[in-house]
Amino acid sequence: MQIKSAALDIVCGVTSKLPDTGQAEIAFAGKSNVGKSSLINGLMNRKSLARTSSQPGKTQTINFYHINEEFYLVDLPGYGYTTASVNVRQSWGRMIERYLKTATNLKAVFLLLDIRHAPNANDKQMYDWVLDNGYTPIVIATKLDKIKRSQVQKQLKLLRDTLGMEKGAKLFPYSSVTKAGREEIWEFIEKECLN
């Protein structure tokens, strides 16, 4: 994918009306701090257009990044941010649910998981939630640079087994440090989501 332009076009708060963009949308979900905004920056070839932070809970709105004025990458707020109040957590959950349920241009939902850890109950719930809404979650195992090469296959299997992913279901390892996996993810998006 050649990135001709990338811009943060729409920011949706908890009470905002969700936009009807009229163009394909590709969403990125996952636990707080897993690397959603970093991945979106990596895909866009931008260092910091999507704000990232070592503190979980950075992205608290649904952010729509317009790519080449043709489609959107959608950065969802992270779940499982334990220090947020129950109210805040519930409203984020409802916002994500509302988006998944009502989006008419949503072509795919990527679910990001840290390659180092087995998915937890929240991750499994999100995976099933995406499935229940009629999408097959495409899993991205982030922070690939944090484990030894010899551990990669074992960790990928752990993610697959814990989530109960089907045999053919897609799983992409990715590192926002080395950008390993970037081409494969774009190739998938171009082939499977944008036509």
Q: What type of residue sits at position 23?
A: Q
Site string for ligand GTP, 145-164 (x = CB under 6 A): xx------------------
From candidates 27, 78, 109, 135, binder to ligand GTP by CB under 6 A: 78
From candidates 21, 24, 27, 37, binder to Mg ion by CB under 5 A: 37
**Contact status, residue 78 vs residue 126, Cβ threshold 8 Å:** no
93's contact among Mg ion, ligand GTP, none, with CB below 5 to 8 A by partner kind, is none
**DSSP letters along 56-74, please?**
S----SEEEEEETTTEEEE
CA distances from 93 to 53, 142, 182 (A): 21, 22, 28
Report the C-alpha gap between 137 and 107 in whole angstroms. Answer: 11
Block residue for tokens 């697959």: 160
* Footprint on residues 55-74 left by Mg ion (CB under 5 A): 58-59
Q: Is 63 in the site for ligand GTP (CB under 6 A)?
A: no
Q: Which is nearer to ligand GTP, 79 or 191 (CB)?
A: 79
**Contact status, residue 143 vs residue 175, Cβ threshold 8 Å:** yes
Q: Which is nearer to ligand GTP, 21 or 38 (CB)?
A: 38
Please report, as ranges, the residues that interact with Mg ion according to CB under 5 A.
36-37, 58-59
Please report, as ranges, the residues that interact with ligand GTP according to CB under 6 A.
30, 32-38, 52-54, 56-59, 77-78, 142-143, 145-146, 175-177
